[in-house]
């Protein structure tokens, strides 16, 4: 193979990646600096949740049947993109619990993260994946996706009445809640000793910033309020809640924003109480 052909083999995949990044930056991103959730909501175009749910369902059914490899945000991918730090966190939790992994996936859609990682998790001696979602998602989840491992619940209370999760997963969800710290406070009060946060936007400012996220029209027509968390305040909050940060990592997401924003994740463990002699 001559040097010119070798250069093509190297450059073409790189150019394709950069083309995708440029297109995503042009079509999507975070805009604005709003003083309230209501103000950001008014600046959002809104979306038909039925359209999004149907598209997500059809995409994940193809993954479930083996017709596609991977789905994220209703988009199908040819190659499976593992979030290795997230997977490492899940396996680490299982190792702490003698191979038992029981996940409370808050806002987990129809099981995107479960299907992304099931080839690795399937060999654990005990696994259950519980998704807490809106009623419409729960209905579709139970009809098309629920099995002996994957379960769907409309709220935390019903989930805890049936099973005992040992890890809470918050993947790309906190930033879309009107009162994220209230929900985080509730989740950290649960008996689970481990929490994994992923795909969450942070910046180095001293206060949380509220914007509107534009979704690329090629995915679905939507825009909605989205928080960019002050990293220093968020970490301080976690530490004050008697959790320690085992590891931090950068997520796969990348969106343009009015401030320098990094999408990150972290693995948390409840601090152990040491009894004095």
Q: What angle do CA 140, 141, 144 make, to 5 degrees?
A: 80
pLDDT of residue 234: 97
* Residue 16, in any domain of the structure: no
* Residue 7, in any domain of the structure: no
The region, left, alpha or beta by phi > 0 then psi within -120 to 50, assigned to residue 273 is beta
Dump pLDDT digits (tens) for 231-272: 999 999 999 999 999 999 999 788 899 999 999 999 999 998
* Residue 276, in any domain of the structure: no
pLDDT tens for the chain, 277 residues long, are 443 443 344 344 434 433 344 344 445 799 999 999 999 999 998 766 788 889 899 999 999 888 888 788 778 877 778 889 999 999 999 999 999 999 999 999 999 999 999 999 989 999 999 999 999 999 999 999 999 999 999 999 999 999 999 999 999 999 999 999 999 999 999 999 999 999 999 999 999 999 999 988 778 878 999 999 999 999 999 999 999 999 999 997 888 999 999 999 999 999 987 655 5
pLDDT of residue 47: 65
pTM equals 0.87
* Residue 202, in any domain of the structure: yes
* Residue 99, in any domain of the structure: yes
Are 194 and 169 within 8 A, CB to CB?
no
pLDDT of residue 67: 86
271-276: long-range contacts (C-beta < 8 A, 24 or more apart)? 271/242, 271/243, 271/244
* Residue 130, in any domain of the structure: yes
pLDDT of residue 271: 92
pLDDT of residue 253: 84
Q: Which domain holds residue 177?
A: 46-270
* Residue 263, in any domain of the structure: yes
Query: What total number of domains does the chain contain?
Result: 1
Percent of the chain with pLDDT over 70: 88
* Residue 159, in any domain of the structure: yes
pLDDT of residue 78: 74
Whichever domain contains 61, its CATH number is 3.40.50.150
pLDDT of residue 276: 57
């Amino acid at each position: 193979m001559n040097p010119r052909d070798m250069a093509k083999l190297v450059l073409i995949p790189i150019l394709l990646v950069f083309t995708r990044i440029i297109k995503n930056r042009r079509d999507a991103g975070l805009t604005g600096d709003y003083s309230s959730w209501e103000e950001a909501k008014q600046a959002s175009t809104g979306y038909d949740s039925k359209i999004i749910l149907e598209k997500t369902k059809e995409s994940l059914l193809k993954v479930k049947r083996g017709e596609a490899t991977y789905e994220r945000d209703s988009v199908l991918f040819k190659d499976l993109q593992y979030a290795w730090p997230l997977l490492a966190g899940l396996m680490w939790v299982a190792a702490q619990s003698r191979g038992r992994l029981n996940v409370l996936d808050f806002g987990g859609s129809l099981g995107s993260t479960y299907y992304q990682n099931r080839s690795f998790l399937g060999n654990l001696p005990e696994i259950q994946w519980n998704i807490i979602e809106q009623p419409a998602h729960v209905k579709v989840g139970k009809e098309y996706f629920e099995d002996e491992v994957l379960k769907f619940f409309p709220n935390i209370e019903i989930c805890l009445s049936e099973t005992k999760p040992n890890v809470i997963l918050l993947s790309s969800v906190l930033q879309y809640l009107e009162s994220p710290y209230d929900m985080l406070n509730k989740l950290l009060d649960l008996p689970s000793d481990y929490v994994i946060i992923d795909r969450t936007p942070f910046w180095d400012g001293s206060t949380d910033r509220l914007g509107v996220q534009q979704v690329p029209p090629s995915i679905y027509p939507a825009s909605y309020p989205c928080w960019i968390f002050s990293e220093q305040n968020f970490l301080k909050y976690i530490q004050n809640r008697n959790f320690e940060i085992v590891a931090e990592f950068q997520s796969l997401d990348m969106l343009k924003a009015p401030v320098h924003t990094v999408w990150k994740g972290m693995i948390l463990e409840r601090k152990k109480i040491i009894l004095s002699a």
